[in-house]
Each structure stands twice: as structure tokens, then as C-alpha cells.
Amino acid sequence: MQTRSNAVRLRAVAIAIALAVLSTAWAFAAEAQSTEDRDVLFQVSTIGALLEGVYDGPVTFGELHRHGDFGLGTFNRLDGEMIGFGGDFYQINAQGVANRVPDRWQTPFAVVTFFDTDQSAVIDRVRTYDDLQQLIEKTLPTPNICYAIKVTGQFDYVKARSVPAQQRPYPKLVEAIKDQSVFEFRNVRGTLVGFWMPEYMKGVNVAGYHLHFLDEDRTSGGHLLECRVREAVVEIDYTRSFYMVLPEQADFDAADLRSDKEKELHRVEK
């Protein structure tokens, strides 16, 4: 009897130690993950699927919040331009008006991360979006990783666009943007939010720049088409991890994602 109860006690101790070791390991894992997670670019679907008219997706903005608070994308039915900034997601609707996005809304395409500044610079008097692109590109340490980009300051001019919600059967994106609205802002304070991606991301995302604009009052903005910067701070976040979720959904599964869509993408983005 004595031996047996010792054995039982020993086993109990062994289990307790195992649990303690396990929970320590979990604590370490959770800590490591939360640190690493901030540098992960989290993407829903592909730009190719969006070009093909896959405008409904199952991922909610409540879910998206767990993967980042900074980024861009769109909404189910292609109902406007999305911009994630300062911990909130905003919809820029077809009238150019910014609205806070409810957690229950869903997205067919989004890219988000938690923004941590790895480098920053003050810029002034940048005459065009092209010039801004070249200026930033010169400072990137390598063309082979993804960058989150934030430009905050005073703009002499911003030209942005948004798109109206579409009806099924959905047209391709090149067709849908024929209904786009274009907005011009002069002498406006605000922020450009977006990404620079390497050439090899073609098809998955937009190679090069993709930026959205939100004004300082968070009342208007859109997908950036042109700008003139008076003075601003450029912040860049290096991201070396990429996590993509492909929607489990008939539209996505049926879309033809094999062909090169670079020309279509150029028309849609610029």
C-alpha cells in the first residue's frame, strides 16, 4: 500500500512539473509570438482575385483587428476604400466621406500590420507622387522585403478616389472603377498609409507603392492618385513576415488567377 500511494504521489508530482514546464513554454511562446506578430504583414485574399471581381469575403474587421491596425483594403461589394490608421479602420465611401468601420463588416481584400517605425525622415516640397515614390525608394535598405509606409504632414494637394458598391453579377475591377469618384484636396493636413512591395509580389499584391489618404480630422480621403507635399514626416516599417489567408468561398475558388494582370492592375491603381 505504502509503495503504491508513493507511486501515485510521484505521478501527481510529475504531472504538476510537466504542467508547470508546459505553461512556462506557452508563456514564452506567447511572448515571442506577440513580439514577432507586430512585424507580420497579414493579407486577406489576393489583388488578382479582386481584379477578377471577387468582392465578397468572410473575414470581419473584428477579426482583422487581431492582425493589425494599420493598412488598406476594401469592403464587401467593393463598397469604398479602406484605411487602417491610429487603431481604427475607416471606410472612404463613394462620396469621399470617411466613416468608422463596425467590427461586423467584412472584407474581400485587406493588408494590415502593427506599425513600428524602423526609419523616419523629414521631407519638404515634394512636387509629385512620382517624386515622393523615388525619394522614399532611395532610402529603402533592400528591394527584397515589404515595407509599411506612413507619411504624415501638410499637403499642398492630394488627388484621391473611391468606388461605389457593386451589384451581382460583379464586374471586373477595371469595369467597376469606371464608376469611381475622384476628390481633390488643397492645403490639407493628413496621412498617407500603405505599402511598398517587391516585384515578386505581383499577382498577390501590388508591386511598388499602394497608398491611401486620410485627412487629419478623419473625415475624408481615398486611394491616392496624386499629391504634392509641403512638409511631412515619412516613417517606414520593415516587414519580413507575410501571412496570407485565402477565403474559403465559391467565388474565390472559381476565379481565374492564372493570367498576368499587370496591365489591368496599372489601369486600376493609377
Q: Establish whether the linkage from the previous residue to 169 is cis, with ω within 30° of 0.
A: yes
**CB of 151: closest distance to Zn ion in angstroms?**
15
* DSSP H stretches of helix in 114-261: 129-139, 173-176, 250-254
Of residues 37 and 105, the one with the C-beta less far from Zn ion: 105
Of residues 50 and 136, the one with the C-beta less far from Zn ion: 50
Q: Single out the residue of 201, 210, 185, 182 nearest to residue 82, CA to CA.
A: 210
Of residues 211 and 255, the one with the C-beta less far from Zn ion: 211
Q: Which residues 6+ apart lie within 8 Å of 235 measured at CB?
A: 115, 117, 119, 120, 149, 150, 151, 152
Measured in residues, the chain has a length of: 270
Cα–Cα distance measured from residue 217 to residue 240, given in angstroms and rounded to the nearest whole number: 32
Longest C-alpha distance within the chain, in Å?
A: 89
Contact window for Zn ion (CB under 5 A) among 50-58, 119-127, 134-142, 223-231? 223-231
Cα–Cα distance measured from residue 44 to residue 269, given in angstroms and rounded to the nearest whole number: 18
Contact window for Zn ion (CB under 5 A) among 4-12, 111-119, 132-140, 221-229? 221-229
Contact window for Zn ion (CB under 5 A) among 31-39, 109-117, 217-225, 228-236? 217-225
**CB of 26: closest distance to Zn ion in angstroms?**
39
Q: How far is CA 21 from CA 14, 16, 27, 29, 34, in A?
A: 11, 9, 10, 12, 20
**CB of 54: closest distance to Zn ion in angstroms?**
16
Q: How many residues of this chain bind Zn ion (CB under 5 A)?
A: 1
Scan for cell 490639407, then name that residue: 188
Of residues 67 and 223, the one with the C-beta less far from Zn ion: 223
DSSP label at residue 255: S
x-or-dash string of contact with Zn ion, 171-210, rule CB under 5 A: ----------------------------------------
Of residues 192 and 232, the one with the C-beta less far from Zn ion: 192
Cα–Cα distance measured from residue 243 to residue 68, given in angstroms and rounded to the nearest whole number: 12
**CB of 269: closest distance to Zn ion in angstroms?**
7
Closest-by-Cβ residue to Zn ion is 223
223 touching Zn ion, by CB under 5 A: yes
Of residues 71 and 247, the one with the C-beta less far from Zn ion: 71
3-state secondary structure of 6: helix
Q: Which residues 6+ apart lie within 8 Å of 136 measured at CB?
A: 149, 196, 209, 234, 236
Of residues 82 and 188, the one with the C-beta less far from Zn ion: 82
**CB of 205: closest distance to Zn ion in angstroms?**
11
Of residues 177 and 230, the one with the C-beta less far from Zn ion: 177
x-or-dash string of contact with Zn ion, 12-51, rule CB under 5 A: ----------------------------------------
Binding site for Zn ion (CB under 5 A): 223
